[in-house]
Amino acid sequence: MSAAQITRKPRPTLGARFGWTMTSLVLLSGVVPLLAIASTEDSGRSGAWAVTSAIIVWSGFRLAMILGRGSATPFAFMFWLFCYIFMGIAPTIQIRTYDLSPTTAGVSPALDWITALLVGSSLIVFELGGVLAGIRRRRAEPASDRRLHGRPPGRARTFILAGAGLTVWIYYVGSLGIGSFFEARDARQDARAAIFADESLAAVVSSLAWVPLLVAAGGFFLLRQGRPAASRRGYLLLGLISMCAVLVVVNPVSGARFTSGTVLYAALVYGGGMGTRARTRTTFAVLLAGFLLVFPLADAFRRSLSPTVERQGFFTEYAGNSDYDGFWQIANSISYVGHYGPTWGRQLLGVVFFWVPRSIWPGKPVGTGVLLAEYRGYTFQNLSAPIWAEAVVNGGLVAALIVLLGLGYLIRAIDRRVPEALASGSVLAVAAATLPAYSIILLRGSLLAASGILIVMLASLWWLGERKNAPPSVIGLENPGTSDRSTRARSAA
């Protein structure tokens, strides 16, 4: 019997769903875009802000639907959150004010329309990919519990993963000195560069120092289920120790905002942040508020531990802000392909072999963000390269649409398994706690810079799964909206 047959999730309370949906819809798709337009004077750069405003409205609608349902669909939430801010609000403000990201200055207004239309049409294709995934699901035969939810964490494998992660953690923290992790971010980067001359090696060691521990922490929290009280306390302590070790390497002081956000999001989910529909809504609402209100200020410790934080206004944070260069990097990718043609996968080859040091492969491709910066002659080259830009550079405009079609399919296919994975306590539950927030980094790019952590994370998740045919635990990290009746039904089954 499949999980779909033995588990009936009750519909969310109509009043709560309607209230959350309408409130979110009015704010995200109504108030925000209207205020964005009303509070900025149109500079006359181009009319493409109408398309990016439509992206705000549609992304806000999708976010409102997710908040209203209160269902655990974290990958879809993160995708639409990224589109809402980085492809919607930021370019709308910057186009209207003609105050672009200073790191991508000089982008021709002639590229505004094609860039906005590419992103807008790709979202339609993304939705089509989700529809196709839903059709395939309805036509497919009922899947087994193991195929649907994945393997439970193995006890021995969790300890081995934690031990391996702790070994690298000791080496990495010992090499840099624990004090460097609580200095300004630039000072920490300088300390790392002094120890590891090769940036590729430094990125791999840094990833191995915290990602396995983050995944192992999820394994320990899941292993608590169904154990005697003493064992539960032991596993809880091991999970907390693992998380504390992670927070030394990835902390809000010296850590990058996106990686710090990945860890904090995982902590929320491990703590039951998606245990009920109400908690899921609250978790998503906190994330949304954090990205809108806190993210622009969260890099305050880049250069000094005593920063002066000033906020002039909500929408002024997006004008002339280098954090929101993604839209303009897509424009630069279109310009690059117009001049040189696609690289036909060469950039992707560099992502696949990210782990190869440049001393061995001198001709290794640079990140797409760096490639576009060199093409435009920018002096500052640590730029983003959103998934759209990566696809365009590798295969042209059509490739971008194909990638978004596949991404829509993949996200819908994974998200439909997440609620029951959280309930059953499989490794997919740990993936739902660690991967969604990191997907923001993958969407923002460039992939070469983000691939090291992703590969280590996927390898850690693969290792964590039990190889025996033991069934997953019954409760796990809880399933939003699952009733006591369905829990008893799973226990009986």
Whether residue 473 has pLDDT greater than 70: no
Whether residue 485 has pLDDT greater than 70: no
CA pair distance 254, 191, nearest whole angstrom: 12
CA pair distance 305, 302, nearest whole angstrom: 8
* pLDDT the model gives residue 299: 58
The mean-pLDDT minimum among 7-11, 303-307, 400-404, 435-439 falls in 7-11
Q: What are the backbone dihedrals phi and psi of residue 384, each rounded to the nearest 5 degrees, phi first?
A: -80, 165
Q: What pLDDT digit, counting tens, does each position of 120-175 carry? A: 999 999 999 999 998 876 655 444 444 445 688 889 999 999 999 999 999 988 88
108 cis-preceded (ω within 30 degrees of 0): no
Sign of the CA dihedral running 36, 38, 43, 48: positive
CA pair distance 448, 271, nearest whole angstrom: 32
Residues 6+ apart with CB under 8 A from 58: 29, 123
The pair of structure tokens assigned to 312 is 């002039």
Q: What pLDDT digit, counting tens, does each position of 31-41 carry? A: 999 999 999 99
Nearest to 329 by CA among 379, 380, 388, 377: 388
Q: For residue 76, with 0-12 CB atoms within 10 Å meaning exposed, 13-18 middle and 19 or more buried, which class applies?
A: buried
Compute CA distances 454 → 28, 103, 185, 434, whole Å.
31, 26, 22, 10
* pLDDT the model gives residue 130: 94
Mean pLDDT of the chain: 83
Question: pLDDT exceeding 90 applies to what percent of the chain?
Answer: 51
Q: How confident is the model at residue 5 (pLDDT cuts 50, 70, 90)?
A: very low
Whether residue 338 has pLDDT greater than 90: yes
Q: How many CA atoms lie within 13 A of 92 on its CB side?
A: 26
Q: Is 92 helix (H, G, I), strand (E, B) or coil?
A: helix
Q: How confident is the model at residue 475 (pLDDT cuts 50, 70, 90)?
A: very low
* pLDDT the model gives residue 340: 94
Mean pLDDT confidence for 299-326: 69
Which carries the bigger pLDDT value, residue 342 or residue 275? 342
**Is residue 387 within 8 Å of 119, Cβ to Cβ?**
no
Whether residue 116 has pLDDT greater than 60: yes
CA end-to-end distance (rounded Å), the chain: 8
The residues that bridge with 465 in the sheet, in sequence order, are: 153
Distance of alpha carbon 225 from the chain centroid: 28
Residues 6+ apart with CB under 8 A from 449: 203, 367, 369
CA pair distance 341, 326, nearest whole angstrom: 20
**Is residue 484 within 8 Å of 12, Cβ to Cβ?**
no
